Amino acid sequence: MIDVNALIGSYPFRYVPHPEPGVLVRVMDREGIDIAWVGHLPSAFYRDPAPGNVELVRELAPFGSRLRPVPTIRPDWPRWEHAVRAAREHGAPAIRVYPPQWGVGPGDERMRELALAAGEQGLALVLTVKFEDLRQRHPMDTAGDLTAAAIRDIARAGGAVRLVVAAAGREMIEEVHWGLTPDEQQRVYWDISWIWGPPEDHLAKLLRTIGPERFVFGTQWPLRLTQSPRSNLDLLPDDLRGVSLARGEAICGAASASRVARATRA
């Protein structure tokens, strides 16, 4: 099992216990998680995330292939193209972006260019809808949630784009999915960490209507309990018991296949 939505490092708006990679690995062992895609939480709030990426790679290095770095790259920061190539060289499966925290709105051409460039390198783009429930946010946490319009816009940037959208709920997922063409829908994967289970059964409804191949396992550790997405899967109705979600390799593989196809056509 791959957790595509893990992080290390502190969070500026509340205390988070032990957000270190060594603790993450112990939690993964306990929960039966083989590999985690790991971002650097403080970098979401840095003006320049580059030092955070250096720290991320250094912190994860002792844990080999179990913790795969997911660097943060701003499309409005000079030389971001170099950062994308560096991410690839460090074995990253994806990169993270935080448009609300950076004031990058829907329709921003730079975000589309970054998504395409990442896809060309076989890297998915991890988008985070929210870190915390709207109702508990610090007064200085004014960025707001990532919007469905922003996700649709990036998904439409081109065939090489692969998005992993973390921390979305049912309404946003449905709004985005059914607002895309069938081809565009194939570029978007949804992490299940914030989707409600029973009795509303939002996850079950989404798996039936949109399909399990569009969903991936994610926890949003260290902000949230790793036990939550696992419990959600355990409580699916009988007809969905044991359903297989998409795996991280499938996301990267799809991006790589798209890159090869484009190269062949060229």
Partner 1 sequence: MSAARSAQAPLAGSEPLIDAHAHFYHAAAGRADWADVNAARFRAGERIGITYHVASVLGSYGFSSPTYFPSPRDVTVGNDAMLDLCAREPDRVRMFVTVNPNYTDHALSEIERCAARGAIGIKLLASRRADDPLLDPIAAEAAARGMPVLHHIWQHRRREWPSQEISDGADLARLASRHPKATFILAHIGGGGDYMHTFPAIADHPNILPDISGSGVDRGMLDAAVAALGASRLLWGCDLTMETGLAKLRALDAIELTSDERSAIRWRNAARIFPRGAFPRCASLDGANPDARAR
**By CB under 8 A, residue 140 contacts partner 1:** no
One of 59, 108, 184, 201 touching partner 1 (CB under 8 A): 201
| Tokens linked to 83 | 């950062």
Q: Which amino acid is at 94?
A: A
Under 8 Å between Cβ of 99 and 105: yes
In whole angstroms, how close is the CB of 114 to partner 1 at the nearest point?
30
**By CB under 8 A, residue 5 contacts partner 1:** no
Most distant CA pair in the chain, distance: 51
**By CB under 8 A, residue 199 contacts partner 1:** yes
**By CB under 8 A, residue 99 contacts partner 1:** no
**By CB under 8 A, residue 139 contacts partner 1:** yes
Q: From the centroid of its chain, how far is CA 39? A: 9
Q: Rg of the chain's alpha carbons, rounded to an integer?
A: 17
Nearest CA to 152 out of 191, 192, 112, 120 is that of: 112
**By CB under 8 A, residue 221 contacts partner 1:** yes
Q: In degrees rounded to 5, what are phi and psi of residue 69? A: -70, 140
**By CB under 8 A, residue 198 contacts partner 1:** yes
One of 222, 246, 254, 255 touching partner 1 (CB under 8 A): 222
**By CB under 8 A, residue 171 contacts partner 1:** no
| Tokens linked to 14 | 């509340």
**By CB under 8 A, residue 197 contacts partner 1:** yes
Q: How do 188-191 and 163-166 pair as beta strands?
A: parallel
Give, as ranges, the residues between 227 and 266 that touch partner 1 (CB under 8 A): 227-228, 230-232, 234-235, 237
Per CB under 8 A, the segment of 66-74, 99-107, 151-159, 225-233 that binds partner 1 is 225-233
Q: Which position has the token pair 């998504």?
A: 115
Rounded Cα–Cα distance for residues 6 and 16 (Å): 13
**By CB under 8 A, residue 86 contacts partner 1:** no
Rounded Cα–Cα distance for residues 198 and 237 (Å): 9
**By CB under 8 A, residue 29 contacts partner 1:** no
| Tokens linked to 192 | 């299940």
**By CB under 8 A, residue 200 contacts partner 1:** yes
- DSSP class of 14: S
Per CB under 8 A, the segment of 33-41, 113-121, 151-159, 219-227 that binds partner 1 is 219-227
Q: Which residues bind partner 1 (CB under 8 A)?
A: 14-17, 30, 132-136, 139, 196-201, 203, 221-225, 227-228, 230-232, 234-235, 237
